[in-house]
């Protein structure tokens, strides 16, 4: 395999967004808020010139090329988060027992009651900076940090994971339905 002396990825910064690079710490400010991420664990060099952010690596091997793409993707996700935001729609599915879902603001958790007839409620942690809304059988998870939003949605889905039962029969649970941005309407529209 031929080796390159250096590889570089360039990320365009849109209008209304400011990016500050301090060593390997990237801070992005936009109309929806501010995000900051420390990328010091990646062997890349991050520089800024005008409305562009360059992520580069010298004498990369296969592993470093992958990390170059990872660092660029993190910065792109931060820019998209402060401009458009992220929304995950989840749906409650039950056939055996009616499930009640409530948001506990004090405990920063989502409580799932009467899941498969259980007396003890199940709970899922809601991370900081994430808003969770429950309307009927639909649950909406919103925020600007994709890691926090997706982890909260995963916590909710995993809280209703069924063990020691036939999954072909017991399909009850809370499942991720769609992933969109905050700019799209919150209806039942599907993302391709």
Computed on alpha carbons and rounded to an integer, the radius of gyration of the chain in Å comes to 20
Those residues with Cβ within 8 angstroms of residue 28's Cβ, 6 or more apart along the chain or in another chain: 17, 18, 19, 20, 34, 35, 36, 75, 78, 79, 81, 82
Rounded Cα gap, residues 54 and 62, in angstroms: 19
Among 42, 48, 47, which Cα is nearest to 64's? 42
Q: What is the pLDDT of residues 103-160, one digit of tens each?
A: 999 999 999 999 988 899 999 999 999 999 999 999 999 999 999 999 999 999 999 9
Q: Is 175:93 a contact under the CB 8 Å cutoff?
A: yes
Average pLDDT of every residue of the chain: 91
Rounded to 5°, the CA angle 57-38-59 comes to 10
Q: What is the pLDDT of residues 20-67, one digit of tens each?
A: 999 899 999 999 999 999 999 999 999 999 899 999 999 988 999 999
Among 103, 173, 106, which Cα is nearest to 142's? 103
Rounded Cα gap, residues 93 and 80, in angstroms: 31
pTM tops 0.85, yes or no:
yes
Integer angstrom CA distances of residue 86 from 4, 25, 114, 148, 150: 36, 22, 30, 10, 9
**How much of the chain exceeds pLDDT 70, in percent?**
95
- Res 168: pLDDT: 80
Band the pLDDT of 1: cuts 50, 70, 90. low
């Amino acid at each position: 395999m031929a080796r390159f002396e250096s590889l570089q990825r360039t990320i365009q910064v849109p209008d209304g967004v400011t990016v500050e690079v301090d060593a390997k710490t990237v801070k992005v400010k936009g109309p929806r808020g501010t995000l900051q991420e420390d990328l010091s664990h990646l062997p890349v060099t991050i520089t800024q010139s005008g409305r562009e952010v360059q992520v580069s690596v010298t004498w990369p091997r296969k592993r470093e090329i992958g990390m170059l793409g990872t660092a660029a993707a993190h910065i792109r996700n931060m820019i998209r988060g402060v401009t458009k935001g992220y929304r995950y729609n989840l749906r409650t599915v039950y056939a055996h027992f009616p499930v009640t879902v409530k948001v506990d603001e004090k405990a920063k958790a989502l409580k799932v009651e009467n899941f498969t007839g259980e007396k003890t409620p199940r709970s899922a942690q809601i991370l900081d900076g994430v808003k969770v809304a429950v309307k009927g059988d639909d649950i909406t998870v919103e925020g600007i940090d994709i890691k926090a939003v997706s982890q909260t949605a995963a916590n909710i889905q995993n809280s209703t994971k069924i063990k020691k039962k036939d999954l072909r029969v017991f399909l009850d649970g809370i499942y991720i339905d769609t992933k969109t941005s905050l700019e799209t309407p919150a209806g039942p529209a599907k993302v391709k």
